[in-house]
């Protein structure tokens, strides 16, 4: 489903991703762990075309974005990547002047030209799915952080992506609101959504991930099944990270 080959990314003189190679199978749940500044967000942003890599390639489904591409071929590949990947950020990023329902229908209507009645029907079913059917006419400011993040998940799902990318989706939430967001993510995983999740929720990683990838300093330091990674991390860097998380 996803194939990343020799991906590198620099910001000025700082190399943030160093020759990343990664494949993700359909329906796989990959949890991406690593200390702050290790390049996790940059990797997710490259996967959905928010950042451009300096070298290497990304294939998602049948869409290939290679760093050697230029002009309209590149533009089309980036647009296609965005359509295939849904992204959920730490800071929900809802439109504050739109209701929950309006937040969810905006992209299908404006980007996909979906007829409004159909978009509303889709949005209502997605808001029920994340447990917010009765909040559809509320504005974000009247919703809790956990509810706002669940609207953000429904909004990403409304574009019917093949892959969901989550960048620390619960890091801005009070602990009592984290569970409701993780529950929605578990349900998505059970339904067979392909997901890459950056999180510090170790319990979620242990229980939901098929594979854990540990990054530091722009490199994939190790990866493996969660039962192996958590029981026997191979690198000192990962052991130190896990001690700090405990
Ligand atoms: P993580 O998500 O693992 O904390 P990031 O991918 O956000 O790491 O950042 C990796 C490194 O890249 C950090 O040193 C960060 O300061 C730097 N960085 C990220 N985005 C930018 C940017 N737009 N411009 C300059 N440096 C950036
Ligand atoms: Mg980050």
Q: Which tens digit of pLDDT belongs to each residue from 207-230?
A: 999 999 999 999 999 999 999 999
- pTM attached to this predicted model: 0.96
- Note whether 87 and 169 are within 8 A (CB): no
Question: Which residue's CA is the nearest one to ligand 1's atom 11?
Answer: 37
| Per-residue confidence (pLDDT) for residue 197, from 0 to 100 | 98
Query: Is the minimum distance from the CB of 216 to ligand 1 under 6 angstroms?
Result: no
- C-beta separation of 165 from 87 below 8 A: yes
Length of the chain: 246
Q: Which of 41, 42, 197 to mutate to test the pocket of ligand 1 (most atoms within 8 A of CB)?
A: 42
Q: Which candidate, 215, 200, 229, places its Cα nearest to that of 19?
A: 215
Residue from 14, 51, 52 to probe ligand 1 pocket by mutation (most atoms less than 8 Å from CB): 14
Asked whether the predicted pLDDT for residue 53 surpasses 90, the reply is yes
pLDDT for res 108: 96
**Alpha carbons 33 and 40: distance in angstroms, whole number:** 8
Going by pLDDT thresholds of 50, 70 and 90, the confidence category of residue 123 is: very high
Residue 199's pLDDT is 97
Q: How confident is the model at residue 19 (pLDDT cuts 50, 70, 90)?
A: very high
Note the Cα 8 to chain centre separation in Å: 19
What are the pLDDT digits (tens) for 232-243? 999 999 999 999
Distance of CA 162 to the CA centre of its chain: 11
Position 246 pLDDT exceeds 90: no
Output the pLDDT for position 75. 94
Tell me which ligand sits closest to the C-alpha of residue 18.
1
ipTM of the complex: 0.98
Torsion angles phi and psi, residue 140, rounded to 5:
-50, -40
Please tell me the predicted confidence (pLDDT) of residue 232: 95
pLDDT of residue 245: 86
Let me know: does 4 contact 81? Beta carbons within 8 Å: no
Tell whether the model's pLDDT for residue 231 goes beyond 90: yes
- Ligand number with the minimum distance to the CA of 42: 1
Q: State mean pLDDT over 104-129.
A: 96
- Using a 6 Å cutoff on CB, does residue 11 contact ligand 1? yes
Question: 208 pairs with which residues across the strands?
Answer: none
């Amino acid at each position: 489903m996803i194939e990343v080959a020799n991906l590198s990314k620099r910001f000025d003189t700082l190399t943030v991703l160093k020759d990343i190679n990664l494949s993700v199978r359909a329906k796989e749940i990959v949890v991406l762990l690593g200390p702050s500044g290790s390049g996790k967000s940059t990797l997710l942003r490259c996967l959905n075309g928010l950042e451009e890599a300096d070298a290497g390639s990304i294939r998602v489904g049948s869409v290939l974005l290679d760093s050697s591409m230029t002009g309209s071929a590149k533009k089309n590949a980036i647009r296609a990547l965005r359509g295939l990947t849904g992204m959920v950020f730490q800071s929900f990023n809802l439109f504050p002047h739109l209701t929950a329902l309006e937040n969810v229908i905006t992209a299908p209507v404006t980007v996909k030209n979906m007829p409004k009645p159909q978009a509303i029907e889709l949005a209502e079913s997605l808001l029920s799915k994340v447990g917010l059917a009765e909040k559809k006419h509320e504005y974000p400011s009247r919703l809790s952080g956990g509810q706002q993040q669940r609207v953000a998940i429904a909004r990403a799902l409304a574009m019917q992506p093949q892959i969901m990318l989550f960048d620390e989706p619960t890091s801005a939430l009070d602990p009592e609101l984290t569970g409701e967001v993780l529950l929605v993510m578990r349900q998505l995983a059970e339904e067979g959504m392909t997901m890459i999740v950056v999180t510090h929720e170790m319990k979620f990683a242990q229980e939901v991930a098929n594979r854990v990838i540990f990054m530091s300093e722009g490199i994939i330091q190790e990866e493996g099944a969660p039962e192996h990674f958590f029981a026997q991390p191979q690198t000192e860097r990962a052991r130190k990270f896990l001690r700090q998380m405990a």
